[in-house]
Amino acid sequence: MEPFVAVILVGVPLGWLVAFAAYAYLDAPNHGMNRNKWALICFFVPLFGFFAYVFERGERDYDPSEDPYAPGSDSRTAGLAVHERRRGEKGLGPAGTEADDGSDGADGENEWNDPDGIDIDDDR
What pLDDT is recorded for position 15? 92
Q: Which are the contacts of 18, defined by CB distance < 8 A and separation ≥ 6?
A: 43
Q: What are phi and psi of 121, to 5 degrees?
A: -80, 140
What pLDDT is recorded for position 26? 94
Question: CA 39, CA 27: separation in Å to the nearest integer?
Answer: 10
The answer to whether the beta carbons of residues 94 and 111 sit under 8 Å apart is yes
What pLDDT is recorded for position 111? 58
Q: What is the pLDDT along the chain (124 residues), one digit of tens a residue?
A: 688 888 889 888 999 999 999 999 999 998 888 999 999 999 999 889 999 999 988 777 777 777 766 665 554 544 556 677 776 777 666 766 666 655 444 555 555 666 666 666 655 5
- In sequence order, which ranges of the chain are alpha helices (DSSP H)? 3-6, 12-27, 35-44, 48-56
Q: What are phi and psi of 19, to 5 degrees?
A: -65, -45
Question: CA 7, CA 79: separation in Å to the nearest integer?
Answer: 52
What pLDDT is recorded for position 113? 65
What pLDDT is recorded for position 59? 73
What pLDDT is recorded for position 62? 73
Nearest to 42 by CA among 10, 17, 59, 15: 17
The answer to whether the beta carbons of residues 76 and 68 sit under 8 Å apart is no
What pLDDT is recorded for position 118? 66
What pLDDT is recorded for position 27? 92
Question: CA 34, CA 57: separation in Å to the nearest integer?
Answer: 10
